[in-house]
């Protein structure tokens, strides 16, 4: 064996030890972030989120890699996985794999810092906010109307980041259906609204982001869903809102900033 090859072989043999996963570091990451949805002990908070306790480490790593590079698509997990390093991926995989599995009925609680929100119902928004946009949602047969307060509209028009005090609000309505159960369109091309279902909201103010883990934090934005009687809808996990809006950090975490800037 030549000297060069001997060194190469020695390096190869040394690799697995150098890459051994750090279960404690994985546990800390899960406690800080992943636990918001998958539960700190790998038992998830709800039906649409997989349990990861006792899952095989190799499978978890493989899924996180394809979620990170985007070949497996899920807006929430793409945003999360893109922020994980290769080491963090092996660490969290090793941690989840080390946990005992749970029965199908078991559920974890939401993280309290992600159920707390600074956003309150914007009384009188129909008079004081600007209605700046409408979107049809054919899949859910809904139409949404978007409103923004003056602080948000002024900043967007001036091409500035949305400041503290900015408030974006949406009314969610079911569409009126024809006999074939398809949404009826008005002359403007938008679905004709039938019944209002709920409201969604995002707003920011000083310090509102301070208890939110970095991988989820949208600066000082908080989120809320309101029922028709203007109360906070129970069981809203802000982790989902934050994760999906997180990649929009260059546009004030707002999907409709262009439309807002063009508001009349």
Q: In whole angstroms, how close is the CB of 143 to ligand HEC at the nearest point?
A: 10
CA distances from 160 to 154, 217, 220, 246, 258 (A): 9, 20, 16, 18, 12
Residue 173 engages ligand HEC in binding (rule: CB under 6 A): no
Residue 135 engages ligand HEC in binding (rule: CB under 6 A): yes
202, 204, 218, 221: residue in contact with ligand HEC (rule CB under 6 A): 202
Q: What is the x/- site pattern for ligand HEC, positions 52-71, by CB under 6 A?
A: x-------x--xx-------
3-state helix, strand, coil in the chain (%, to 5): 40, 20, 45
Q: In whole angstroms, how close is the CB of 82 to ligand HEC at the nearest point?
A: 11
CA distances from 140 to 118, 183, 229, 245, 261 (A): 29, 10, 22, 20, 27
Neighbours of 189 (CB within 10 A): 8
Query: What is the DSSP annotation of 71-89?
Result: SS--HHHHHHHTT--HHHH
Q: What is the x/- site pattern for ligand HEC, positions 28-47, by CB under 6 A?
A: -x---xx-xxx---------
Residue 155 engages ligand HEC in binding (rule: CB under 6 A): no
Coil, strand or helix: which one is 137? strand
21, 57, 80, 97: residue in contact with ligand HEC (rule CB under 6 A): 80
Residue whose tokens read 């008005």: 186
- Cα–Cα distance measured from residue 121 to residue 105, given in angstroms and rounded to the nearest whole number: 34
**# residues near ligand HEC by CB under 6 A:** 41
Residue 90 engages ligand HEC in binding (rule: CB under 6 A): no
Work out the angle between the directed axes of helices 57-69 and 86-98 (0-180°, nearest 10).
140
Comparing CB distances to ligand HEC, the nearer of 11 and 128 is 128
Q: In whole angstroms, how close is the CB of 233 to ligand HEC at the nearest point?
A: 8
Residue 236 engages ligand HEC in binding (rule: CB under 6 A): yes
Q: In whole angstroms, how close is the CB of 112 to ligand HEC at the nearest point?
A: 15
Comparing CB distances to ligand HEC, the nearer of 146 and 173 is 146
8 A C-beta contact, residue 93 and residue 61: yes
Sign of the C-alpha dihedral computed for residues 64, 68, 69 and 70 taken in this order? positive
Residue 239 engages ligand HEC in binding (rule: CB under 6 A): yes
- How many residues are listed for the chain in this entry? 264
Judged by the rule CB under 6 A, the positions of this chain that interact with ligand HEC are 29, 33-34, 36-38, 48-50, 52, 60, 63-64, 74-77, 80, 84, 92, 135, 144, 146, 168, 170, 200-202, 223-225, 236, 239-241, 243-245, 254-256
């Amino acid at each position: 064996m030549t000297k060069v090859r001997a060194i190469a072989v020695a390096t190869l043999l040394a690799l697995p030890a150098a890459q051994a996963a750090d279960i404690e570091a994985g546990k800390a990451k899960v406690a800080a972030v992943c636990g918001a949805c998958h539960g700190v002990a790998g038992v998830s908070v709800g039906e649409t989120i997989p349990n990861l306790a006792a899952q095989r480490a190799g499978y978890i790593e493989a899924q996180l890699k394809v979620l990170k590079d985007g070949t497996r698509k899920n807006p929430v997990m793409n945003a999360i996985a893109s922020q994980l390093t290769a080491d963090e991926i092996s660490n969290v995989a090793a941690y989840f794999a080390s946990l005992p599995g749970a029965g199908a009925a078991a559920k974890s609680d939401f993280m309290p810092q992600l159920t707390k929100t600074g956003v309150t119902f914007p009384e009188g928004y129909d008079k004081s906010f600007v209605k700046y946009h409408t979107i049809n949602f054919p899949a859910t047969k809904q139409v949404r109307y978007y409103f923004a307060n003056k602080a948000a509209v002024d900043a967007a028009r001036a091409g500035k980041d949305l400041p503290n005090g900015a408030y974006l609000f949406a009314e969610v309505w079911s569409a009126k259906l024809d006999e074939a159960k398809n949404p009826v369109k008005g002359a403007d091309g938008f679905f004709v609204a039938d019944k209002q279902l709920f409201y969604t909201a995002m707003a920011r103010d000083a310090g509102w982001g301070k208890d939110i883990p970095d991988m989820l934090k949208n600066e000082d934005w908080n989120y809320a869903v309101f029922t028709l009687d203007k109360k906070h809808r129970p069981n809203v996990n802000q982790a989902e809102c934050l994760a999906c809006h997180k990649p929009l950090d260059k546009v004030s975490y707002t999907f409709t900033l262009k439309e807002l800037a063009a508001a009349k």
